[in-house]
Structures are given as C-alpha cells and as structure tokens.
Amino acid sequence: MTAIRRFIDRRLGRGEAAITVPILDGPLMPNAALDDAEVFAEINEVDNLVAAEKGLFCSSGNTLLRLRWGEATAEEEARFDAPISAMAGGKGMLALGIEGQGVVIRGGPHDGLCFGGAGETGPVYPTSLAFLDANTVLATEGSDRNSAANWRRDLMEKGRRGSLWRLDLETGDATRILGDLGWASGIALTGSQRIWVAESWRHRVISVDLATGTSTPVLEHLPAYPARIAPAVNAGFWLSFYSVRNQLVEFILREDDYRQRMLTEVPEPYWMAPALASGLSFREPMQGSQLKQMGVMKPYAVTRSYGLVVQCDPQMRPLRSFHSRADGVMHGCVSVCERGDELYVASKGAGRLLRLADVAREG
Amino acid sequence: MSLSQSIVRWRYRLLPDHVMGEILNKKWADSAIPFFALVLIVAIFGSIVPRFFEFSTMSILSAQVAELGLVVLGLSIVMISGGIDLSVGSTFALTVTTALYVMNVQGASLGTGLVATLGVGVACGAINGFLVGILRMRAFLTTLVTLIIYRSIFDIVFPKISTDIVMNYPESPVFEFLGIGLIWGLPVSFLLMALVSIALHIVLSRGRYGWRLMAVGGARRSAHNAGINVRWTVFSAYVACSAFVALAAFLFSARIGSAASDIGAGLELQALTATVLGGISLGGGRGSVAKALMGTVFVLMLSNSLLALGIPGPVNSLLLGLILVAAVFLDVRWVKNRHKLLRAVYISPTYNKMPPAISTDDGPMEPNDRLREVGVIGLGTLDGAEDVIFDRDDNLYTGSRHGDILRWFPPDYTRYEVFAHIGGAPMGMVFDAAGNMSVCVGGMGLYQITPEGKVSLQTGETNRSWTSVADDSVMKLADDCDILPDGRIIFSEATVRFEMHDWYADALESRGNGRLICFDPKTGTTKTIQNNLLFPNGVCTSYDGESVLFAESWACRISRYYYAGPKTGTVERVIEGLPGYPDNINRASDGTYWLALMGSRTPALDLSLEMPAFRRRMARRVSEDAWLMPNLNTGCVLKFNEKGEILESLWDLGGQKHPMITSMREHKGTLYLCGIFNNRMGTLKLPDADQTWCGLDSYWRKPE
C-alpha cells in the first residue's frame, strides 16, 4: 500500500515527493545584520571560535590562531598536518578536532591525549566538541566516511552516518552514544543530563539524554542546515548555519539519477548544492531569480550560500536572527562565540571574522 | 555514448511531446472528450444492436437528429450566454399544438403555419427572455416556472382541439414533403437542420452576435464594461432558443402529423444531456455548433439503441440522467483544470547533449577584467538596451523596455530624445542604404523607422509551416536582424513556442524552436529560410557577399547560411562548443566579427540537458525562481574571424557592471556594450582599431 502511494506521490509530486521549503519568517525574518557588522579581521577560512582568557582562538585551515582581546591581528599558536574541524575550550584546556586524526587535547593535565586516530575508536572526522566536565568531552561526527570539509558531498549523498561520542579523558575510552544521524554538526550543554545536538540534513536540533541515549527533536523544520551551537550568557544559545535550504536542492535530493551523475561527473565547486560561498566562478550553476536585473542582484533571490545566526532561548526557541542574504557576502557563518556584550561571528565563506557589538547583552 | 543515453536521445527524437501542449492549446481540444465518447458509443452499440448501420435506421436517426438537434442548438445559444432554459419541452409541446392546429384544422399554407408556429415560440422565448434578461431573475428557477406554466396551458388547450387535429389532414403538399420527403436519400428536415447549423456556426464563430454571446456568457461584467448590451443579448438568446424549438416542432409536426398528451415531456433532460455531453459549459462562454451536434447524436444513438435492445423507457431515462451527471462532473473538472494541465504539459524539454566547451583556462578565451573599467552611458536611464547602432552623424540609437527607440547625441552621449515609439521591446537594429532603420520587436515582428522617426510595420507574419500543430505564422520573438547587399533583411526569431518574457522556458526546453526569416522589402514578402534552430539570436551579414552568420544560443554555436553563390541554401558550422551562450554578432573594423556571450555554460546545467525528464519534472515542481538556468551573470565579448577562429576575449568576471551582455557595436574606435537587463551601456576604447570606421560604411560604402 505504501509502495503504491509512494509511486503515485512521486508521479504527482505529493507527500514525500512534495518539495516545500519553510520560509524565513517570524524570528527568522531576513535582515542585513551580518553584512552591516564590523569586519574585525580577515582570516582565510576562519572557523571554530573559542573564547578564552588569553584571547579568541580560531582556526584557519590547518592552523590554530589566537587573537588577543581587542586586537585584530592573529598569532599562530599551532599548526597541524590536517585541517582543524572542531574546537572547544574549558578548564584551561583546548579540545581540537583534526580531520582524519580524531580529537586531540591541548593543555591541562591531559595534554596530548588523542581519540579516534589510526586504529583507535572515536570520531575520525569530528565536527564539534564540548566539555561536559573536566574529564569528559562530548564530540559529534558528521559522517564516518566524509570528512567535515566534505559536508556538501555528504548532504548530496543523503548521508545518515553521523554520531555522538563521549570521550573520557581519564580512562581514554571513547563511547558512541548515538548513531545514524543525518550529519551531527553541533553540540551544546544544558547543565543537565540532556544536551542539544544539531542534525543538519534533517534540519533540526535534537535533545539527547546522555544517561539513556534517547533523543527527541526540539527544533524542527528549520529553513536552513544547522551547524554549531554556542552557549549564550542568558542560558540561551546561538545557532549557526551552513546555508539555507533551496527548493532546487531539495528537488535534486529526490532525483537520484541526476544527483548521482552530478556527484561523479561534475567537479565539486560547480555542483548544484548548498555552499559556504557562491558566485566565485562563472561555472557555478545559476538559478532563475539570481539573474541580475538593472545591475542588481535581488536580496530575496534564491541562493546556495547564506549567512544566518539565530539566537535561541534556553528551550531552544528562536528569538531573533542575523542574516547575510543573496546579495551579501558574509555567508557560511558556521561558528559564533560570545564575549561580554559582543558576538563574534566567523564567516567561513567570506573568510571574515565579524564583530557584532552590543547584541549579546541580555534583554 | 551509453545505451541508456541513446535510448533517451531516440525517445525524444521520435516522440515529440511538445505537440501535446500545442494540441491542448487549440480551441478544438475541448471537443476531444465528446468526440471520443461518440466514437465509443458507436463502437459499443454498433456491435451489439442489430441493424445499427443499416440505411433505414440511419434515416430515422437523421430525422430525429434534425428535430432534437435544433432544440439542442437553441439550448446551446442560451447556455453560451450563461443561462439555461428548462422550458424547451413545454415550449415544444405548445408549438407542436400550434403547428398541427394551424396546418391540419385551419388548413393553412406552409408559410402561414411556419409564421404562426414561430410566433408562438418567439412569444414563449420573449417571456423567458424578459424575466431572465431584462428583469434579471434567476434563469434556472424562472424557466422551471415557465416550464410548468407552458405545460399547463398545453394541458388546458390540447384536449379541446386534439380530436380536431386527429380528424383532419393538412392540405399543404409542401408540408407533407417536409415531413417525409427525401433529397439525395436524406430527409428534408435533416438538410434544413444542416443549413441552419452551418449558418449558426458562422454566426457563433465568426459573427459579431456570436462574439457578444460568448463575451456575455464568459464574463458578464467585463462584457458590460466593454460596451455590450448584456440585457438585450441575454433576452435575444432566449428568443432565439425558443424560435429554434418552434422550428423543431414544426418539422416534428410535419413528420408525425399528430400529437399525444405527453409530447415534449422529458425533452429538456434529453436536450440538456446532449448539450453538456457535447462540452458546452454550464458556466457559459464556451461552446460550438459541432459540440451541440455531437452531443445530440450521442444521446439519440444511446436512447434508440436502448429502445432497440428492448430496455424499458424509465431505465432509459435513468441512464440518460446518470450520463448527464457524469458529463456535468467532467465539464466542471475540465474547465477548472484545463489550464493546469496545459501548464503541466506545455514545457517539454528535450535531449540536448552539448559538445565539450572551448577551454577558458588558457588561450584567447582566458578570462580577464578588461570590461571592468569601462565608460558608461545612460546609467539609470536605460532599461533594456538590447542592441545599439550608429548613423553617419555619430548619433547612437538604442531600445528600451518601454517600447521606445532612444537617440543619444554625440560627442558625450549624455543627452537623448525619444526617436520613435513602437510599443514592443526593440531588439536588433540595422540601417538600409537609404538610412531607414529596421528593428526587430519582441512579440511584434520587424518594423521600419524612417530618418524622420515614422514607424511602419515591415512584417509580422511568415509562411505557416506544414508540420506544426500550432499556428506558427505569427512572430513571437523577432530577435536580431541584418541586411543583405540587395536590401533583403534576414532576421532570427528565437522561439515560436514562448512569449518574450518566457524566454527561460525555451532555455529549459533546449529544442529547436527558432527560425531564420527573410523579408524582401521590394516585394513585401516574408519567408522562413531555416527552421528548428536552438534559440537563433545574433545575425550578421558576412563580408564574403554570399552568406550570413547566425548564433544559436542554447546550442552554443555559430553557423553560416548561404543566401547566394554555389552553396545557396546550405548551412555550415563556423564555431562549435562555445563556453557560453552566444547573442548578437556584429562587424569589427578589421574585417572580423564581435560576438557577445550573454552567459557562461555551467557543468550542472550541461548535465541536465542530457536528462530531459529531470528538467520536465523541475519545470513542474520547482518554482521558476529556483530553476536551473544558464549562468547569465558572467559573459564576455569575443572577436572571431571568417574562419571561426577566436582571436581575443573581453570579460567582466562576476558581472559587476555588465552581466548578460547581449550586444556590442564598434564605432570610430570605441566598443559599445549592451545588456537587455542592464541599467547602462558601457564604452571601451579600442586604441588599435580604425578610429574613423563606421559600421554603415562597411555595408554601403563611404558616401562620396
């Protein structure tokens, strides 16, 4: 019966085959806040912001950088032989996710401890990290096949191989808490046994009970692919996003022939898929409303890349949002962090570190 | 090429699905369902009813068709006007009584009888028309009431004269001939009905009255606003209906010669079934004579066959009622969903595998930023300058989306005037030897503008092609033109399937929907010279005196058409596998050609061109805003020579100032850039070019 219904649905574009994308409305009403924000520093592929006493840590490809508070020049702290894909700070330690090499601890009593490296269990391609306590790190892995940088491929392959891990720093044990996630990309603590995990390809944030390993969705039907979750001072959260959903991408995800041929025949930069930045090459695909009219790209045009940061309350309900729309460039804002009244946003797509003054203040 | 790809390619070559949409677009497509219903009923009953196809059966059927057909035609007129007449059965009974009384009892002549019968019919219709049309009462209820009233009058009068009618015979031999006479083996009444049908068909489909009737039925208020006297039109429809019923009654009287007390009972059901089944919409505004007659034949065949099979009358009526319900259901669904169906099937992409693109990584096509820092003309004033041209006095002419040709004055081109107003979007332009401008106008055709600014149509129609379902004689998107040394103008029509604002739907189809057309001003004739081109765009007369170059945008190629010389009529490829979508071609001062690439090819779109079904589903399911389209935000201008070798290219990466370059023209050492969706024109100095070169001189020599 379901098979017949699916067959009919596919013919008529109903049910599962219907391609509708939620619109940006309510607290997600578009603005140009990210484009209007101060460009604090220009750092190529800036990502993984962590606020610490010594300054603002961030990554740029393989390099770990530090910006002293109030200074826009970055100092190189360390260099790895693979890109840094996740980072978390706490108790004088830094946990770093290195593509293909797992999680490395830097500083503190467990300095040099490693999880998920060659021959070890643990997340091989970490996408986000969080310290649960001084001896425990929680980690997400987008997929055990595709590296964090290959998120576009995993999305277009409809990957469901993401997982959530608990890493015990004292014993060195890595335990998988949850698997089969559609690209787990962000993690945040709530102060209890429940934590938040962003599940990008299902456009939602789920709540996971660490004791039982059960999960329930809390924020669903997002119009964008959620990336990392950062805590806010008022016990709320900052949600960052890879890009917005696009009706044509949703359609291609249902068109297996085209999708598979695209994955094999078309070079990756030219895929019809979401991206951290777009318009870099004239070989990138163009969609109807992106055609410039009277010399202007319409801000409301459909787009493959977008900048979106959403502030949520402690129950993960959106309160307000900061955007960079189709005509902007501050796209691919996949990491944010708060310091005092200021919010730092890493636009990985544009290679810019943005500073939004006075937005992190309570009320 | 793999097997599955070959299958896809052949499938789209052999099964042209775009025809489906064109058929649905036809007015007669509405008749398809009743026609197939008719064929079905003939097939079914022809096989099970004895003597179905015999002459006597057919003869009786044709006489019945004559009578019921006239009633149905009358009812159709009312329904086209947006009303309904349920009183046809009672009117029929009254008029039959009148005819028999006048002919049999009074012994009147044929003329007197006919006038008397029509008179009673018209009177009945006038009452209906007055109530519904003038007093604007509800048609359904009003005619239901008049049905009862007329029937009651009949019931009162008929018993008093029925004996007289039966006891007497008509004295008119012509009347008798009308009833039973045959001409060419067909009943006279049938031929009469055929004549009336043809006349009515002409009135309805070609006449002013029919046009008004459709307008009133389709949209009462709009018809009123357009100046049509709605009340009078509705009134006249009821009168005409009853007159038709009276005529049918007269023929019936002549054939039967007597009457029973149940005459005309249930006629409204039969007539209504026939009308709705024929596809005459209950909502009004749609219908034709052919549909009415198809419905009539259907209903009569059905009831006669059921009678022949010995099925009792009430069951017969029940079946008729059920068919009426089914027909009404179909009518409602069809009218409601027709445009949806049409939209769903009209866009029909086809297989179009692109050749590998010429490399842009190195060589003359390597991107640069030479178009980034260019001069600007008319920033914020221009809107839709698709092409540009100069006269010998250095005046610059360009079009605008508002339908104007603007003339900008030298030397700095900051002042301008409206040279001529055409009304449609001007595209490619050319000057003839006498200084008259010819301009292609999207949606309108080829226009001429004299140096004084007088506008006249050169051609808007070409010969209709034999194989096309849709009438392709009218021009939908004349794009670019150029002039031959003998004064003939060759121009491209980008697509015959879409209007100008739907050009991207043509890109999605990637079928050869366009053509090259030649217009001869000496004889005023227009002829299509090349068909099935993929969005033919730029046209440029070659220096060789025997060919024109033309660009096919969605095929990314430049071809050459020979209009003279030994290869007359043939087409040769000049450049294949361009990395972008070619637009206008114009002459350069050094004997080569400029070509605008309005956009760049993208691998994601090129892949989809090999997957027509994917594109078709995309057109149906995805909003137009999100469709995969050619990347028209980054293009370039390139130069090529007669052999088709690309010499150099000028780019504006990212399309910051000149996205979608549609044309360019060199004039006295400067290259002028146009874009149909841009708000400016660009100027690029060409220091190495001939600083005195004017395009007109290269066509018509320098004046002495």
**Tens-place pLDDT, residues B384-394:** 899 999 999 99
Considering only the beta carbons, identify the residue of A19, A251, A270 that sits closest to B604.
A270
Helices (H), B375-493: none
Residues B563 and B602 sit within 8 Å (Cβ to Cβ): no
A288 phi/psi in degrees, rounded to 5: -40, -55
On chain B, the residues whose CB falls within 8 A of the CB of A263 are none
Residues B472 and B460 sit within 8 Å (Cβ to Cβ): no
**Cα angle, residue A340 at apex, residues A337 and A344 outer, rounded to 5°:** 30
More confident residue, A82 or B167: A82
**Cα angle, residue B278 at apex, residues B272 and B282 outer, rounded to 5°:** 55
Query: What is the tally of helices (H) and strands (E) in chain B?
Result: 19, 27
On chain B, the residues whose CB falls within 8 A of the CB of A286 are 599, 602, 628-633
For residue B72, what pLDDT is reported? 92
Distance between CA atoms of residues A34 and A26, nearest Å:
18
Q: Does A19 touch chain B (CB under 8 A)?
A: yes
Considering only the beta carbons, identify the residue of B367, B631, B654 that sits closest to A285.
B631
Q: Does B653 touch chain A (CB under 8 A)?
A: yes
**Tens-place pLDDT, residues B474-517:** 888 999 999 999 999 999 999 998 888 888 899 999 988 999 99
For residue B478, what pLDDT is reported? 92
Q: What is the mean pLDDT of chain A?
A: 91
Is residue B253 predicted with pLDDT exceeding 70?
yes
Distance between CA atoms of residues B587 and B8, nearest Å:
40
Residues A112 and A140 sit within 8 Å (Cβ to Cβ): no
For residue B108, what pLDDT is reported? 74
Q: Does A255 touch chain B (CB under 8 A)?
A: yes
Rg (CA), chain B: 34
Residues A336 and A257 sit within 8 Å (Cβ to Cβ): no
Mapped onto helix, strand or coil, the DSSP state of residue B267 is helix
B301-325 exposure pattern, b = at least 16 Cβ within 10 A, e = fewer: bbbbbbeeeeeeeeebeeebeebbe
On chain A, the residues whose CB falls within 8 A of the CB of B601 are 283
For residue B605, what is the nearest residue in chain A, using CA coordinates?
A285
CA distances to A340, B492, B549, B570 from B552, in Å: 60, 10, 10, 16
Consecutive H or E run containing A64: strand A63-67
Range with lowest mean pLDDT among A201-210, B249-258, B585-594, B627-636: B249-258
Considering only the beta carbons, identify the residue of A247, A266, A270 that sits closest to B622.
A247
Is residue A301 predicted with pLDDT exceeding 60?
yes
Q: Are strands B681-685 and A126-133 parallel, antiparallel or unpaired?
A: unpaired
Considering only the beta carbons, identify the residue of A251, A257, A290 that sits closest to B611.
A257
Instruction: Tell me the shortest Cα–Cα distance from B675 to chain A, in angstroms.
Output: 9
For residue A362, what pLDDT is reported? 56
On chain A, the residues whose CB falls within 8 A of the CB of B627 are 248, 287-288
Take residue B604 and report the two structure tokens written for it.
């994601």
**Residue type for B449, please?**
I
**Tens-place pLDDT, residues A178-203:** 999 999 999 999 988 899 999 999 99
Give contacts of B 611-640 with A, CB under 8 A.
Answer: 611, 614, 617-618, 620-634
For residue B199, what pLDDT is reported? 94
Distance between CA atoms of residues B65 and B61, nearest Å:
6
Residues A77 and A64 sit within 8 Å (Cβ to Cβ): yes
Distance between CA atoms of residues A363 and B70, nearest Å:
81
Residues A252 and A350 sit within 8 Å (Cβ to Cβ): no
Strand partners, A196: A188, A207
Whether A291 sits inside 8 A of B659 (CB atoms) is yes
Q: Which residues contact B222 (CB under 8 A, 6 or more apart)?
A: B215
Strand order in the sheet with A184-189: A184-189, A194-199, A204-209, A215-219
Q: Does B605 touch chain A (CB under 8 A)?
A: yes
Distance between CA atoms of residues B637 and B205, nearest Å:
52
Give the N- to C-terminal CA distance of chain B in Å, as an integer.
60
Consecutive H or E run containing B437: strand B437-441
Distance between CA atoms of residues B236 and B134, nearest Å:
10
* pLDDT, mean of residues B265-281: 85
For residue B1, what pLDDT is reported? 57
Q: Does A13 touch chain B (CB under 8 A)?
A: yes
Is residue B372 predicted with pLDDT exceeding 80?
yes
Residue B1 CB neighbours (<10 A)? 9
Mapped onto helix, strand or coil, the DSSP state of residue B503 is helix
The pTM score is 0.83
Whether A285 sits inside 8 A of B605 (CB atoms) is yes
Residues B233 and B219 sit within 8 Å (Cβ to Cβ): no
More confident residue, B173 or B223: B223
Is residue A28 predicted with pLDDT exceeding 90?
yes
CA distances to B192, B197, B199, B211, B528 from B202, in Å: 16, 9, 5, 11, 32
Complex-level ipTM: 0.92
Whether B623 sits inside 8 A of A247 (CB atoms) is yes
On chain A, the residues whose CB falls within 8 A of the CB of B625 are 287-289, 301-302
Tokens 């949209």 belong to residue: B219
On chain A, the residues whose CB falls within 8 A of the CB of B628 are 248, 272, 285-287
Half-sphere exposure of B501 (CA within 13 A, CB side): 3
Q: Does B659 touch chain A (CB under 8 A)?
A: yes
Take residue B386 and report the two structure tokens written for it.
């698709």
Whether B618 sits inside 8 A of A248 (CB atoms) is yes
On chain B, the residues whose CB falls within 8 A of the CB of A272 are 604, 628
Mapped onto helix, strand or coil, the DSSP state of residue B694 is coil
Instruction: Tell me the shortest Cα–Cα distance from B659 to chain A, in angstroms.
Output: 7
Residues B409 and B378 sit within 8 Å (Cβ to Cβ): no
Give which of B178, B197, B205, B218 is closest to B294, Cα–Cα.
B197
**Residue type for A139, please?**
A
Q: Does A283 touch chain B (CB under 8 A)?
A: yes
Q: Does B679 touch chain A (CB under 8 A)?
A: yes
Q: Which residues contact A76 (CB under 8 A, 6 or more apart)?
A: A63, A64, A65
A135 phi/psi in degrees, rounded to 5: -120, 5
Residue B32 CB neighbours (<10 A)? 14
Residue B9 CB neighbours (<10 A)? 17
On chain B, the residues whose CB falls within 8 A of the CB of A295 are 657, 659, 678-680
For residue B20, what pLDDT is reported? 82
Take residue B272 and report the two structure tokens written for it.
């209504």
For residue B185, what pLDDT is reported? 73
For residue A284, what is the nearest residue in chain B, using CA coordinates?
B602
Give contacts of B 489-528 with A, CB under 8 A.
Answer: 504
For residue A250, what pLDDT is reported? 94
Q: Does A260 touch chain B (CB under 8 A)?
A: no
Confidence of residue A262 (pLDDT cuts 50, 70, 90): very high
On chain B, the residues whose CB falls within 8 A of the CB of A247 are 622-623, 626
For residue B596, what pLDDT is reported? 94
Mapped onto helix, strand or coil, the DSSP state of residue B385 is strand
Whether B631 sits inside 8 A of A255 (CB atoms) is no
Q: Cα B310 to chain center, whole Å? A: 47
Residue A302 CB neighbours (<10 A)? 23
Whether B624 sits inside 8 A of A288 (CB atoms) is yes
For residue A116, what pLDDT is reported? 78
Tell which of B602, B605, B611 to mutate to test the A interface (max A CBs under 10 Å). B602
Confidence of residue A108 (pLDDT cuts 50, 70, 90): confident
Contacts within 8 Å (CB) and 24+ apart, A22-25: A22/A221, A22/A222, A22/A223, A22/A245, A23/A223, A24/A223, A24/A244, A24/A321, A24/A323
* pLDDT, mean of residues B551-580: 94
Is residue B173 predicted with pLDDT exceeding 70?
yes
Strand partners, B377: B681
B510: left (phi over 0), alpha (psi -120 to 50) or beta: left
Mapped onto helix, strand or coil, the DSSP state of residue B623 is coil
Distance between CA atoms of residues A223 and A221, nearest Å:
6
For residue A266, what is the nearest residue in chain B, using CA coordinates?
B603
What secondary structure does DSSP assign to B87-100, as a single string?
A: THHHHHHHHHHHHH
Q: Does A292 touch chain B (CB under 8 A)?
A: yes
Instruction: Tell me the shortest Cα–Cα distance from A7 to chain B, in angstroms.
Output: 15
Q: Where do the DSSP E strands lie in B64-160?
A: none
On chain A, the residues whose CB falls within 8 A of the CB of B345 are none
B692 phi/psi in degrees, rounded to 5: -115, 5
Q: Does A251 touch chain B (CB under 8 A)?
A: yes
**Tens-place pLDDT, residues A127-182:** 999 999 888 999 999 999 999 999 999 999 999 999 999 999 999 889 999 999 99
Residue A133 CB neighbours (<10 A)? 10
**Tens-place pLDDT, residues A50-81:** 999 889 999 999 999 999 988 888 899 999 99
For residue A13, what is the nearest residue in chain B, using CA coordinates?
B621
Strand partners, B684: B671
Whether B660 sits inside 8 A of A287 (CB atoms) is no
Distance between CA atoms of residues B198 and A336, nearest Å:
79
Query: What DSSP designation does B105 have?
Result: I
Range with lowest mean pLDDT among A110-119, A351-360, B369-378, B664-673: A110-119
Q: Does A327 touch chain B (CB under 8 A)?
A: no
Query: What is the tally of helices (H) and strands (E) in chain A?
Result: 5, 25
Residues B320 and B304 sit within 8 Å (Cβ to Cβ): no
Q: What is the mean pLDDT of chain B?
A: 88
* pLDDT, mean of residues B297-312: 83
- SS3 string, B19-73, reads HHHHHHHCHHHHHHHHHHHHHHHHHHHHHHCCCCCCHHHHHHHHHHHHHHHHHHH
* pLDDT, mean of residues A319-343: 93
What secondary structure does DSSP assign to B519-577, as a single string?
A: EETTTTEEEEEEEEESSEEEEEE-TTSSEEEEEEGGGTEEEEEESSSTTTT-EEEEE--
- SS3 string, A344-356, reads EEEECCCCEEEEE
Distance between CA atoms of residues B475 and B665, nearest Å:
26
On chain A, the residues whose CB falls within 8 A of the CB of B504 are 288
Instruction: Tell me the shortest Cα–Cα distance from B538 to chain A, in angstroms.
Output: 21
Confidence of residue A352 (pLDDT cuts 50, 70, 90): very high
